[in-house]
Amino acid sequence: MAFENWSTFNGAAKGGLEDNKKTCRVVPIPAYDMKGNLINLRHYCQTLEGAAVELYFTLRHWSIHPKKNQLENSGIDTYTADIILIHVISPPTPCAGTSLKQTVSCFFNPNESLTKNHC
């Protein structure tokens, strides 16, 4: 999958994506459905969004000791995690539809009843 196929939702994301094209390469994370079948990259959003998944990952830890002129307890701990694969254990739950008769107030006044509509 190439960066060119990625959608962005705002200008900041688009700019960041353009910057990443110059220095990064796409490495898809393998994702498997509940039956253990590999999910096609084109179906990731619809299959994974809202699903309960197991993530298999590696966790690395580096303990950076303080320099000689620093306090003994001023060391730094750094952690990184890399996702190895994703396994769906429960599919996304469908969103409950809203009633067509439901009305929404144009504004909210905390001093008034929530049952009043103001339009």
Q: Say if 7 falls within a structural domain.
A: no
Question: In this model, does residue 103 exceed pLDDT 90?
Answer: no
* Domain span including residue 33: 28-90
Angle formed at CA 79 by CA 72 and CA 17, multiple of 5 degrees = 130
Asked whether 92 and 39 are in contact (CB, 8 A), the reply is: no
Q: Say if 85 falls within a structural domain.
A: yes
Percent of the chain past pLDDT 90, that is, above it, reads: 34
pLDDT tens profile 61-70: 998 887 777 7
The structural domain count of the chain equals 1
pTM for this entry: 0.59
Percent of the chain past pLDDT 70, that is, above it, reads: 74
The SS3 assignment for 85 reads strand
Output the pLDDT for position 35: 92
Return the closest-CA partner of residue 87 out of 37, 49, 45: 37
